[in-house]
Structure 1
């Protein structure tokens, strides 16, 4: 690190958001439920979205807070379960996603996790590429603040869509045990999937199931020493979850497909049958396809749908992934005097989770173009089978090329394993000097490592050896065992249905699990000072409080390393990567009360902030800023508005994807759309002959000109890429920071005539320009064709200037003759809407109290625009061809809690609502794919969903509290849609991110203080 930077940081002070702020006090500043006593408190408060500390601080940007009480009532085991209930968060259910890597990411306003800054006690969680919010145990969360709108001027890059700040319980005293157990209690009923699955001879579950058990246990201990000068606390947390396979839910008994709009439904099927799929690739029966008879008679039957024939490829996929996690943390503060307090904490975690796949011998095409081979006198084949495979060579030692696909149904599943392990440590010194100035000098070290180990697969040579079998004293034996080539070889009986030989599996699938490791590391040093200038007379003549300011400096380094073992490299290619990026930032911020406690102006305040950032990977320095205002004509009403210019620099991985150049050959979706298409037809003058005709290219002459092709070469067959694989160049782009102009404005009502009521309405407008995206070659190829020659797309198709070809040799590092792909700046994205919040506490003398908390969001725009010449596409309220987005127009949560007078018992009911979604084909908007007369008649609408959750908490004693919760108590089934993978990247016929897809969830929890 630069010594000058270090000296500047050590001589500058900065406020970091302290984690020991009283939750009720902070909530008062952020428009959440408070009591009258809380409002009277004037201790210094910390508000997410500013680094200024002062009494009666208020946020000019809308903030949603979730308290520990709400988290308890929701019976959440992990962070994503809490956040998925909030309208401001794009739901993301990694625990219900088969292809997850185990990490929990947070996405505000549907703008991607890379645009949401995640903080813990006001400091960064980790690197953007490697962070995992699952590091945070729900039992240790005191409060979660969600700030909508850009906050780059306060916190730096990444805060494009907003900030999620986790405030932890780091000032605990005593010994506490929190234990929770939850499971799903679901009734499988006949659904639209049931008859389709039955027609494919797949099992269909009916009746009540109790599954998906999850445990969450936390032990917390804390102690105050030396008259509270030293505070120490720590926790240990253990969580695990049992697997729930697709086959255990009626709605996912098979993957529904609908190949034709409004056509018949069918199930996805697989040739990897438990009966064995065989096809000779030579001899007189070459190309024939056989299936071993499921009755075990060693005869062949035609491949097709039927009991024991075609398999369900996804029945064992994880609807809830099996996982196990261990967390531990230590917190400490040492107050030396009023001017200095040393603080620090460290959290360590390790989790392991799995993606399940059927154990299979793969087709030879997974390894290359050479088939397996079997000896035609293999004793495991019956005479009829030998004749079917070898024809006239049956019974001889001839080696016949053979396709083999086999699924072992009764053997353990193949597991892709993800192990995430990391540590996050923070520390520093903070305090007050000069009776005015608060300072904080501290930093964060975070390291996240992910080890991905692919499931074991059979070596090609081992499969071949196990198929070459002869009789030795009446015992089928591998030839390689006889001749000593491979003494461990076990014969593969691929000619009998239901082979589940564990010894064979141990031979075929041992030692073929490659591992790749990714490590993200963050070093973040922050130092700032903040103070109230009233002490120096800098006060508006119409205000009581002075102008408050903060200023500071930040140095941040991010590293990313990716390595792999020899097995992984052999099977997947690639090379080791080591990337790094650093930034120096300076920022200032002010709050200026202009008028206070005057007629028609209870408060008029202006806030502002400015940050200057310099990344070592970008030659340009860029700046971000904010301007905010608060106006309360009377105490009951506050108008607020904020405008932010937020910018995000590319991450280290995005920089690598943009700049590092590599070449591959890919089968383009159009091949070269300017090439003439040659095909053979029957000669009309001589039926015994074939002639070649050249069809016109897919693209028009104008589109091809836009790619740089001369008219003379238009339609030439010489343009066709060999084997339909054009050269694709990845990288070679320069990526600039993306910019978001974010605006929020609204009103907060706290009527004095109705104490305990707070209402707020806020408008958010996030306009993102030059968004940083990864676009593959088909994005540019398809965009150029469909746009009629838009240079934004067509310029990425770089032709050889002489031949016009797109198939340059990658070995020559060409500068022309390819289609581009990689990370670069795209055009525009937008997220607009309204947030509605309300809290009310009603005390009933001698009858207890009621509390209501409401949080709703009306989305008006979730759109993108690919280029200046293409129209903007708005996907609010639609699913289908919306780039994986499915954003309902309206969502809300309303929690009602009743507590008896002695606080011994409380009952809470939560109502979650998700408005309907319509398929884009029925949108009436041509931009979304609608064509007149082309509306869908089936699966065109997902109705509105209402979920109800109930929670009861009872204090058994003053030191023990029992909780029982039921989420989705009515056991609502998720909506069913065919081809769900095209919409949600899930094969379970629904959108598991958005809907409660596994049914009613029962939870039992206990908290005991010792």
Structure 2
């Protein structure tokens, strides 16, 4: 077994050193308490009730500000992940845990080569902007800037996932639901948590390796051990002055090794399939290590060559094949190299039952990188002027000089050429450095026996520095190409005094690091800094009005009440240096918005402990919000009901109106006007376009036509007169029409959510709890960013639907090219963040919990969490059909939600609690290409149906965790996730589906293979 970095080996060694003496300690008969606590906690959260007395404190119920009360069940379904569940997975970050929950759309930033390093959470199929993330009931940060990686995994008591609207309780952004991280309170003592995990995978030959070998790309088969990740946490806490002052803190270090694409046989190259069922091939790049050369004058103008890989200094034609074209993605990050430090502290001072001061602080710094090949870029990356080479360059052989210079070969004449070269040198890196702080503070307490209050706030600041790999210096490349022979030594014509290093561009395998350093000099590094800040002040008061006799005559518990006011400001600033703006464009920004809100919540038991009515209860909530960026106030509300005919059965229903105001980024994208040119080569679809079509008079033959792409009726729907249909006047310059983004008002979106469910706790089967809940979410005026193709493609696809065609805003003469100074109000295709028709999410959630004692044999606990998604999609306009993407991918179905997925964990614990074994079954349902859906609304027409690569079969993953608890002080965990080493499913054109070039969906599947983990905890 070989480990790639000494830090990873060191972490493993340290864990083993700590663990070794633990086996000699005396075992305890009470070590099963933590597992019992976990089971009771999950059951309590699942039902929304207070935990049993023997398990400790009351449970904070996510989704309400009213503290939990005995015999009161939550009306909204909650899924909980306990600390025991988390330890059984030995994750290095929280997104690994959450991605395994059926209710969450996975987002694996660690396996995504274009990631910015931030961990975000997406409930259902509705995006991270609609998922509110809380820590102990308060916001983590802004929607745009938050990073869940700031939360220390080892300090999480549990994670509550409430799906469905919760805006009336928590404010905007809780449209899809809430993820609430409950941290362990009041830690005392010293604890060390160490985890190390790595991948142990068998690479097998497959269709990707076949294609890679045809192009001479290396393939990796056989056993591979890589991807080491170390996680070390030190936690300490104490209580002073008779437990009135409680202080705790932690520091956490994480490290992840790079796993490049080339380390997996399934990603030996990016697999491309041309056409519906066309041939397979690898993505190829002209940036070959043999060097790509193309003259830009003379008889061979435009011919593409590479240097002969055999070292003979001859040119051979460029094209696919061994040692010719390059693999552009072989060293991209399948697992990003990452280093993170987290630290934080928590304190509370209880001056009296009426006054308790509290505060906390979290800080992190994360650096992640993505490899970028070291290259000499084509000249058109800098402009329209080609490179120049002198025809007596000593690196040119006679035949090469003739091919480039013709009759001028051997002279000092300069000729233009294009050069693309992947240098045989260490890769460059794109670097993201994310830093952040989150501070909370306030005062809380009790007022008499009926009232509690909490006045406090949150300040969060997340900063991201992006430093992309910078283009080499164009002028220095040109200097290095002008080489003369001085005393038999190739030397730059500008002279050695200039520090120039000559460029041998005319042989394969250039590995001159001095040349790399030279062309990289004289270039300002590119950098963009983005800062997101949240300032949140809130005051809440709760009261049990039953203490004053305000109680239903048929109930024992009285009316409970909560009210609050809140101020929240989001701010975003973004600054790029001159080098960054030169390459990426855009402009600096300073954006902000704030909101004032007030809310009220009621919990009213109507009947309790009566014949046929064990419990009947209604809950309600209302919130009023006013944003400075919107002239209107808006309201949200909830109405919930509970009915329990007997103790064993609870029926529940919840209705919510939730609203989400646009984030500061969305507001900017909506309002800021920017003129640009349309990407690609698509022209006005009403202009004449030369193309081949089938000849109606000669079957099997084609003819050339200049007919527009769109019909006359579609063009009429864009405001074009019939007289101009097919006119050359409509041709956009350079085949690129004008796009105007912005200039719109983005209004809050409104979601109506419904859940109906049943909870079963049969008294004749102690320890069993089952629940089934139906959810329905519909978002009106759904906010989203749409580029120009959304309107052009939609207009054509819908045969003239005004909803889409109105996005094509023609000038008075019918054209679509404009500038901000000429006709800023017409002559463009619109783009930007706007409100469109609505989004839909519907399905069922299933949960189960069963704990049974086996007498002298031990204890068995089982937990089940499954989700059936029946609808995931929406409707673009009143004239368009609904798009249901549940179980499908492609054609705009991007959330990649199988119709069914589940997790079933079974844990056996010995009577003395010294040992437990936890076995988990994760099931991911099938995914089918939208082309084969049979639903024309998502492109499932018969002519588009595929016969190859149209379905990903369901996959079952099995995880095993063995835990040894010794003497109440030490715990050793041995874990294997994806125990059977299932390989990732292969999907050509994967970037179009998952924005990953690894031929799979890395967020959805265990794409790197079996993961083995060793974890250790020591308490002092």
- Regarding TM over 0.5, the answer is yes
2:318 equivalent among 303, 308, 327: 303
Q: State the distance in 1 between where 2:757 and 2:692 align.
A: 68
- Deviation at residue 28 of structure 1 after TM alignment: 4.5
The question of whether the paired residues in 2 share the 8 Å contact of 1:668 and 1:726 is answered with: no
- Deviation at residue 677 of structure 1 after TM alignment: 3.4
Q: How does 1:536-555 map to 2 (within 5 A)?
A: 536-555=548-567
Q: How does 1:240-255 map to 2 (within 5 A)?
A: 240-255=255-270
The question of whether the paired residues in 2 share the 8 Å contact of 1:298 and 1:385 is answered with: yes
Q: State the distance in 2 between where 1:552 and 1:930 align.
A: 50
Distance 1:378 1:935, change over 3 A: same
Equivalent residue for 1:3? none
Deviations 1:282-332 (A, max 9, x none): 122211221111111211111123332211111001111000000000000
| 1:862 maps onto 2:869 in alignment | no
- Deviation at residue 262 of structure 1 after TM alignment: 2.1
2:581 equivalent among 529, 547, 569: 569
- Deviation at residue 667 of structure 1 after TM alignment: 4.2
The question of whether the paired residues in 2 share the 8 Å contact of 1:54 and 1:532 is answered with: no
| 1:323 maps onto 2:338 in alignment | yes
Equivalent residue for 2:1006? 996
Q: Which moved more, 1:172-181 or 1:371-380?
A: 371-380
Equivalent residue for 2:654? 642
- Deviation at residue 570 of structure 1 after TM alignment: 2.0
The question of whether the paired residues in 1 share the 8 Å contact of 2:901 and 2:924 is answered with: yes
Equivalent residue for 2:942? 932
Q: State the distance in 1 between where 2:1005 and 2:680 align.
A: 35
Deviations 1:669-694 (A, max 9, x none): 6411111336999xxxxxxxxxx997
Equivalent residue for 1:395? 410
| 1:677 maps onto 2:689 in alignment | yes
Q: State the distance in 2 between where 1:618 and 1:322 align.
A: 42
Equivalent residue for 1:266? 281
Q: How does 1:286-301 map to 2 (within 5 A)?
A: 286-301=301-316
| 1:499 maps onto 2:510 in alignment | yes
Q: State the distance in 1 between where 2:476 and 2:236 align.
A: 55
The question of whether the paired residues in 1 share the 8 Å contact of 2:859 and 2:910 is answered with: yes
Counterpart of 1:732 in 2: which secondary structure? coil
- Deviation at residue 385 of structure 1 after TM alignment: 1.1
Deviations 1:141-161 (A, max 9, x none): 110000010000000000000
Q: State the distance in 1 between where 2:179 and 2:661 align.
A: 19
- Deviation at residue 668 of structure 1 after TM alignment: 6.2
- Deviation at residue 707 of structure 1 after TM alignment: 1.2
| 1:818 maps onto 2:828 in alignment | yes
| 1:721 maps onto 2:737 in alignment | no
Equivalent residue for 1:968? 978
Distance 1:612 1:33, change over 3 A: closer
Distance 1:745 1:196, change over 3 A: same
- Deviation at residue 604 of structure 1 after TM alignment: 0.5
The question of whether the paired residues in 2 share the 8 Å contact of 1:118 and 1:164 is answered with: yes
Equivalent residue for 1:748? 759
Equivalent residue for 2:602? 590
Equivalent residue for 1:385? 400
Equivalent residue for 2:770? 759
Q: How does 1:521-920 map to 2 (within 5 A)?
A: 521-667=533-679, 670-677=682-689, 695-801=706-812, 803-812=813-822, 814-920=824-930
Q: Which moved more, 1:719-728 or 1:416-425?
A: 719-728
The gaps in structure 2 that reach 5 residues or longer are 1-36, 694-702
Q: State the distance in 1 between where 2:553 and 2:42 align.
A: 30
The gaps in structure 1 that reach 5 residues or longer are 1-21, 682-691
Equivalent residue for 2:199? 184
- Deviation at residue 440 of structure 1 after TM alignment: 0.1
Equivalent residue for 2:490? 476
Deviations 1:969-1002 (A, max 9, x none): 0000111011111111111111111110000000
Distance 1:85 1:558, change over 3 A: same
- Deviation at residue 29 of structure 1 after TM alignment: 3.8
Equivalent residue for 1:955? 965
Distance 1:667 1:332, change over 3 A: closer
Equivalent residue for 1:223? 238
The question of whether the paired residues in 1 share the 8 Å contact of 2:45 and 2:59 is answered with: no
Equivalent residue for 1:8? none
- Deviation at residue 941 of structure 1 after TM alignment: 1.4
The question of whether the paired residues in 2 share the 8 Å contact of 1:120 and 1:167 is answered with: yes
The question of whether the paired residues in 1 share the 8 Å contact of 2:926 and 2:954 is answered with: yes
The question of whether the paired residues in 2 share the 8 Å contact of 1:523 and 1:558 is answered with: yes
| 1:357 maps onto 2:372 in alignment | yes
Q: State the distance in 2 between where 1:150 and 1:852 align.
A: 29
CA RMSD of aligned residues (A): 1.8
- Deviation at residue 779 of structure 1 after TM alignment: 0.8
Distance 1:527 1:813, change over 3 A: farther
1:172 equivalent among 179, 183, 187: 187
Distance 1:189 1:288, change over 3 A: same
Q: State the distance in 1 between where 2:890 and 2:265 align.
A: 23
Counterpart of 2:988 in 1: which secondary structure? coil
Deviations 1:339-363 (A, max 9, x none): 0100000000000001112111111
Q: How does 1:396-475 map to 2 (within 5 A)?
A: 396-409=411-424, 411-475=425-489
The question of whether the paired residues in 1 share the 8 Å contact of 2:49 and 2:73 is answered with: no
The question of whether the paired residues in 2 share the 8 Å contact of 1:285 and 1:390 is answered with: no
The question of whether the paired residues in 2 share the 8 Å contact of 1:33 and 1:840 is answered with: no
Q: Which moved more, 1:706-715 or 1:151-160?
A: 706-715
Deviations 1:690-723 (A, max 9, x none): xx99722222222122111122222210110011
Counterpart of 2:539 in 1: which secondary structure? strand
Distance 1:251 1:680, change over 3 A: closer
- Deviation at residue 931 of structure 1 after TM alignment: 2.8
Counterpart of 1:846 in 2: which secondary structure? helix
Distance 1:96 1:45, change over 3 A: closer
- Deviation at residue 384 of structure 1 after TM alignment: 1.4
Distance 1:25 1:198, change over 3 A: closer
Q: State the distance in 1 between where 2:788 and 2:48 align.
A: 51
Distance 1:512 1:307, change over 3 A: farther
Counterpart of 2:110 in 1: which secondary structure? helix
Distance 1:141 1:70, change over 3 A: same
Q: State the distance in 1 between where 2:97 and 2:712 align.
A: 54
Q: State the distance in 2 between where 1:677 and 1:762 align.
A: 54
Equivalent residue for 1:685? none
Q: State the distance in 2 between where 1:308 and 1:500 align.
A: 16
Q: State the distance in 1 between where 2:279 and 2:658 align.
A: 49
Q: Which moved more, 1:564-573 or 1:340-349?
A: 564-573
Equivalent residue for 1:18? none
- Deviation at residue 885 of structure 1 after TM alignment: 2.7
The question of whether the paired residues in 2 share the 8 Å contact of 1:678 and 1:717 is answered with: no
| 1:348 maps onto 2:363 in alignment | yes
| 1:195 maps onto 2:213 in alignment | no
The question of whether the paired residues in 2 share the 8 Å contact of 1:24 and 1:38 is answered with: no
Q: State the distance in 2 between where 1:1004 and 1:34 align.
A: 35
